[in-house]
Structures are given as structure tokens and as C-alpha cells.
Amino acid sequence: MIGAACLDAATYEQVEADSTSSASAIMVVVIASVAAAIGAGSRDLTSIAGITLAAILSWIVWIGLTLVIGKWIMPEPGTHADIGEVLRTTGFSASPGLFRILAGIPGLGLLVFLGVTVWMLFTFVVAIRQALDYTSFSRAFAVCLLGWLIHGLLFFGFVRVAF
């Protein structure tokens, strides 16, 4: 988790290659999601569980979109990846999300949340660059940003319609 949070490409390569680390990657997402829920002010188990579930579903949609965009719409010549590789690398890219628990500090909440969100975007880009075997950071950034925008429209559009 430390290597992933530090944007260490070698860490992401190790995670990508280790098919036994899928459960660990999912656990990182769960822990980061719980930290975000607590940092957002949730104190009861029901709201923490609800926010955590929504965050996990949101992550699954984002990685699916990113895989489709990165592998089939905007691939580089050497692009190769499967859902497991993307799941593992992006799961560990959620490592900085642990710091979202600090968003509950009065006066710092929004700053902490935004700072960690930007940090997580960059870890996600490195994760995707390594998982899709990209040579270009800018292509990985474009794929992640496009996936995030589509995900935001789908997820928040759905939330708005549902509620």
C-alpha cells in the first residue's frame, strides 16, 4: 500500500502480476471506503455500510469503463490487460483513501478530501498505465479521466433519478 500511495510503478507491476493479490486489492478499496464514510461524518454502521457499498460499486463501474476505453478504444500497440490486472492495480491505487478519515477534522475536511481525491486520481493513472502496459502517462491520464467522467454521469445521473 505504501508503494502504491507513493506512485511506485514497480509496486503496481508486482500487484498486476500477482493473481493472489486480488482479495488484498479489494480489501484496500473497502478500507479506503470505510475511511471516507467516517471522514464524511458517518457514525452508525448502516450509513458506513451504505457509503462503503456505493463506493465499491462506483469503483467497479469506473474500472470497467477504464478497461473498455483503455484496451479497446484507446490502446497503445503493446496494450494487454485483463479485468484481474486492472482490479488489482486500481484496488491498490485506493491506498491514499485511508487519509480520507481525516476529512472529519473541523476546518480541514474539504481540503483533506480534495487533496486525497487528487492524489488518488494520480495513483489510479499510474495503476492504469502499468496494467494496460502504456508507455504514455498522458494516454493513461486521458483514459482515466474519460472513464471517470462517463462514470460520474452514469453514477450521479442514476443517483439523481433514483432519489
- The three-state DSSP-derived secondary structure of 132-143 is CCCCCHHHHHHH
Distance separating alpha carbons of residues 36 and 34, to the nearest angstrom: 5
Render pLDDT for 106-153 as a digit per residue (tens, 0 to 9). Answer: 998 899 999 999 999 999 999 999 999 999 999 999 999 999 888 888
Give the closest residue to 3 by CA, choosing from 97, 120, 92.
Answer: 92
Cβ distance 22 to 87 under 8 Å?
A: yes
Q: What is the model's pTM? A: 0.89
Residue position matching grid coordinates 502504491? 4
- Angle between helical axes of 83-93 and 22-39 (0-180°, round to 10): 40
Boundaries of every domain in the chain: 2-162
Render pLDDT for 9-41 as a digit per residue (tens, 0 to 9). Answer: 999 999 999 999 999 999 999 999 999 999 989
